[in-house]
A and B are shown apart, each in its own frame.
Chain A
Amino acid sequence: MDIALIAQMAAAAVLAAVIYTVIGIVPGTDETAVLVPITLVLVLTGVQPVVVLAFFISAVVANNLMDSIPAAVAGIPGGVMTSPLVDHALALKKHGLANLSIRKMAAGSFLGVLVSVPVSLLLAKSLIPFASAIKEYANPLFLAGAVLLSLMSKNKWLALASILPFSLLIEGLRYLYWGTGAVPKDTMVSISFFLGITIGPVILTLFELLNWDKRESLKRFEAKKIVLKNNSYERKQLNPFHVMDKRECATGMLASVIGCFTFILSPVGVTTFLGELFASRIKDPVKKASVAIVGMNGLANATYISGALIPLIALGIPLSPVAIGPANALFNAPPVFTLKHNMHHILSGGDFVWATIIGTGIGIVITYFIAIKYAQPICAFVFKKVPHEAILGLFFGLVLLLAYMDAGWMNVFGVLLIGIISGTLHRWGVNYGIMFMTLYSAPWLVTLFH
């Protein structure tokens, strides 16, 4: 590892932290939609793999922390990963503690990074001998994940009943594309399906608008009222361990460690489940929300870092929700990376450690300071200037682009179809985590019926 390369990695990490600080704070930016295209561009332009990895890891850390800021300030989720957190952030905001909630988010993220980097690296190293066994059991594990998340959710029976039909939809489309030659037989369309699920509620609403009766009966709203606190930056509370009490700190760490071991499950699902589990035993509303916020921010980082690193280091094929979604370009970006020749095969153990430490270190330090010092003014600026329509439009454009790149025009409509179904299921109470796990287990699930 020479100095020039380390400097490049550091520069990439700084760049990622700055870009994803802005993207993260913009509400409604889905992690996969914003991480995949830019990583893909870097890989395809021939940037050194180890530099791309540092960029990606820093982007993940920055995006995860900044995503939660709009929840603290306005109760609007910054992305899919922060939707579990909104209720708790609103609880603190109601008590006039929006600033405290931002500090706890930053501290939770810091904790998550601190715990998940060593745990993920060690776990990845110790899993290398079992790589083939894990590859063999990944599919049943995905299904078990979907079932488990269903059983833990509020609408258990609905969620369970939706697993098989939904996997038929996914595989139906894939076989259709293979059959009509839209994509070659060995190409697995994933990213755009993933995005179709995420954007489902928006697609469903758009289709409803085309129905006149529905459109007339849709609930009308008034402009959203947002109260901004004009807090100047006070008390030099930069030490993350002063922001949390012992209980929050312990829960955050424990949750992050568990989050690393459950890398094969959906990050949103794990974050919701563990966060609520740890918070549910506390009565006091402020303390409850604080524990949930610290825990969920830690979990967001832990699930993402472990979900990207462990399959990269130990397996070489995308075998976790994060690897299939946001980190996909690190595994599969033809012609530079293929499933037989990607970062796993190119980078050494030392490369992975360096890229991870530089990426997470720079990412968390920069965003931690920005979050604590400037989060409120940046947030106020974004809310005043950026209309929600522009964000939805941007997201829609990106989904269109990635859908077309995955499998042509047919897939644009395929993704719309997935959006209508997943949007309906989501509205009825099936959470994203269950649908993502179903998406991952679908190829194997349909072969059980031969």
Chain B
Amino acid sequence: MFRLHRKDLIEVWEDIVSIKELVIALIVNSFTTMGGYFLAPNDPPKPLLFGLIGAMIGFSLCTILIRPKRIFEEEERGE
């Protein structure tokens, strides 16, 4: 799924993202966050709390589904 020389890598906010996967991440997170908010019992602060939990679920899902576009080089010792 992940190739280093893909055509759709762009820079947003000082780091590299794939356009397609960025769109997926935005949709997933919007859905889980707002889903949590609306599913919660209408009794403050539960909607906000459920929304935050939804946000964390969306974030975890994206972290599992999407690979970071970063290449690592390790140097044994510096300084």
Q: Is A226 part of the binding interface, using a Cβ–Cβ cutoff of 8 Å?
A: yes
Provide the residues of chain A in CB contact with B24, threshold 8 Å: 389
A393 and B13 within 8 A (CB): no
* Chain A positions 73 through 111: 1 when the CB is less than 8 Å from some CB of chain B, otherwise 0: 001110000000010000000001111100000000000
**A208 to B: closest C-beta gap in Å:** 10
- In the assembled complex, 28 residue pairs joining A and B whose CB atoms fall closer than 8 Å, in A order, are A27-B14, A44-B45, A96-B79, A201-B13, A205-B10, A209-B19, A219-B10, A221-B11, A228-B73, A229-B78, A230-B76, A230-B77, A384-B72, A387-B17, A387-B62, A387-B66, A387-B68, A389-B22, A389-B25, A389-B66, A390-B63, A391-B59, A393-B22, A393-B28, A393-B62, A397-B33, A397-B55, A401-B52
B79 and A100 within 8 A (CB): yes
Provide the residues of chain A in CB contact with B72, threshold 8 Å: 225-228, 380, 383-384
A residues lining the B interface (CB < 8 Å): 27-28, 37-38, 40-41, 44-45, 75-77, 86, 96-100, 201-202, 205-206, 209, 215, 218-231, 335, 380, 383-394, 396-398, 400-401, 404-405
Report if A392-B13 is in contact (Cβ < 8 Å); known contacts: A220-B7, A397-B55. yes
A400 and B17 within 8 A (CB): no
**Number of A-B residue pairs with CB-CB distance less than 8 Å in the complex they form:** 189
A196 to B66, CA, bound (A): 26
A398 and B68 within 8 A (CB): no
B52 and A38 within 8 A (CB): yes
* Chain B positions 37 through 79: 1 when the CB is less than 8 Å from some CB of chain A, otherwise 0: 1000000110111011011001100110011111111111111
Residue among B13, B55, B66 having the largest count of chain A Cβ atoms under 10 Å: B13
Choose from B12, B51, B68 the contact partner of A401 (Cβ within 8 Å).
Answer: B51
B48 and A224 within 8 A (CB): no
A393 and B9 within 8 A (CB): no
A100 to B10, CA, bound (A): 31
A-B CB proximity, top 6 nearest:
A393-B25, A44-B45, A390-B62, A397-B33, A397-B29, A393-B29
Provide the residues of chain A in CB contact with B44, threshold 8 Å: 44, 335
A393 to B31, CA, bound (A): 10
A225 to B22, CA, bound (A): 19
**B15 to A: closest C-beta gap in Å:** 4
Report if A392-B22 is in contact (Cβ < 8 Å); known contacts: A44-B45, A223-B16. yes
B26 and A396 within 8 A (CB): yes
Provide the residues of chain A in CB contact with B14, threshold 8 Å: 27-28, 75-77, 86
**How many residues on the B side are at the interface (Cβ–Cβ under 8 A)?**
55
When C-beta atoms are compared, the residue in chain A nearest to B27 turns out to be: A393
Provide the residues of chain B in CB contact with A405, threshold 8 Å: 37, 47-48
Provide the residues of chain B in CB contact with A392, threshold 8 Å: 12-13, 17, 22, 25-26
Provide the residues of chain A in CB contact with B30, threshold 8 Å: 393, 396-397, 400
A223 to B69, CA, bound (A): 5
A50 to B30, CA, bound (A): 33
When C-beta atoms are compared, the residue in chain B nearest to A225 turns out to be: B71
**B26 to A: closest C-beta gap in Å:** 5
A388 and B58 within 8 A (CB): no
Choose from A28, A45, A222, A229 the contact partner of B5 (Cβ within 8 Å).
Answer: A222
A27 to B34, CA, bound (A): 23
Provide the residues of chain A in CB contact with B47, threshold 8 Å: 405
**B70 to A: closest C-beta gap in Å:** 5
Provide the residues of chain B in CB contact with A385, threshold 8 Å: 63, 68
Report if A202-B12 is in contact (Cβ < 8 Å); known contacts: A229-B77, A393-B59, A397-B29. yes
B10 and A224 within 8 A (CB): no
**B62 to A: closest C-beta gap in Å:** 4
When C-beta atoms are compared, the residue in chain A nearest to B22 turns out to be: A389
A383 and B68 within 8 A (CB): yes
When C-beta atoms are compared, the residue in chain A nearest to B49 turns out to be: A41
When C-beta atoms are compared, the residue in chain B nearest to A205 turns out to be: B12
When C-beta atoms are compared, the residue in chain A nearest to B69 turns out to be: A223
When C-beta atoms are compared, the residue in chain B nearest to A96 turns out to be: B78
Report if A230-B29 is in contact (Cβ < 8 Å); known contacts: A28-B13, A223-B16. no
B48 and A37 within 8 A (CB): yes
When C-beta atoms are compared, the residue in chain B nearest to A75 turns out to be: B14
Choose from B55, B59, B68, B74 the contact partner of A388 (Cβ within 8 Å).
Answer: B68
